[in-house]
Structure 1
């Protein structure tokens, strides 16, 4: 809660002087169409400081769940701009704890403050305001007087709260713009991936045609001919190349795990491999499955896929077992076969 009485609304507060209106109007124009966070916050802070005829202030970004804040912009305070601090420290920590606006006659009353006692602002008055969005504190906004002797009023605090609202808009606009840009990049990557998958599919078609030619050549070759061995070798190489190409398609395709659990995706992969090659593939899953990040789940799938591919291509195995073992703290994957190679 704010640490000052709620002021009565006067005609002057309802209709700020033209200089205040001009400053706020100018700020709204600055925010329009702008998305880079630091320049936006610098302009918001600059307008607020100019309106109060002060030279010092700062805006911090609060990460309350993680327990820290970042000093995002700083004007004339020298409080280590760009660095992060625990929410137990300084004016920002106090604002978050009280969850309201704070007016102090002297900054020196802030425990574990970051301003050096030799700095003139150490003895200056300060207004600290939370920057909120949808009921959550996402930042703090502070304005310092230029030295001892000036005391801020509740009406001053109301104006700082207005600038804090602008800061909140700037922060959320920047975040939304970053999210949209990330989705645009992801869409571009997905489009390129799908194009590559299509090209690989076309390569598979040509490879299948080559396999048919090899089969025809094998049938047309008389038994016992020296050419038979070379045709068989070419067929093996062609099948291996086809298998590698198919595996690459699965790895490139963005939907390899879409709508499926890791177990389901692995089982489908083993069924597909088993239908194409003379090898007995089994899957064993134990324990309660963990909820994994999509990137981790995809990488695990790729590891299993690569291991099974190596078994098929190099081990000359007749059986292969894949195990996925869950426990409370970890997940283990085991792939073993009865083919040649190492223990």
Structure 2
């Protein structure tokens, strides 16, 4: 089948939205970009504009340093983000700070990088390598932009659910099993669990139990030499126990809440919810019966507490941490 033959945008969009967890969304998007263009490989990177970086979140057909984080001025992603429009790179290998392996033949072919927008900001960039036609014409780039942009809401919604904790820990080479209804977790939960794994020995087994109010992570270090025994870790809002079990090694049990307590006042929480709905300062003021100046002060406090540089980033941070009332992290708990 030639590039684009038999491709139906409506079918592709329905498939992308069929599972609103972030990883399936990105995998499906890449599968359809390959069908659309006949491309040999592709990747999607998630943008953190406030931090000036992006992370390779999904890929196919190439080893493009999946999971690594880069400055926003690097690679095809950096070029598309900087120009705020789709870009075509005639020969990827000539790009400064590209991330394909030096021996990869796709470096000698073209690449197209397409920004994905949400509420006026670039939230991701999809890069497609080496189409079968050998070039990216204007129509191919337009079709790519149409397809990738339809996934914007799915990426935002999928990002709210976070990554699978098991997938994060398995990247470290550990053996992981799960029990209960598997639930995506907030980024902070994943960071805490990954830190516990990093402190362990080489022979580590991990069990994850999803409970109503949080996740229980059980780790067994068969070498008995982990740092847990010498200095048991602590978790904000959670509990950790460590014991030596004869014949088993060191066993750690960590109960981690799905979300940390929200840092906002009641009024700030109201303002944040209306920000999530996309209301302007004046609309929020009208809804709450307050002046726009008062609303601006509340928004300023929200920005400081989330560490965000703009309203969209503040809302996304609150979602990631389960601080919004209908956030999946708190709803699951």
| TM-score, normalised with respect to structure 1 | 0.46
Higher percent of residues as strand: 2
| Larger Cα-atom Rg | 1
| TM-score, normalised with respect to structure 2 | 0.47
Higher percent of residues as helix: 1
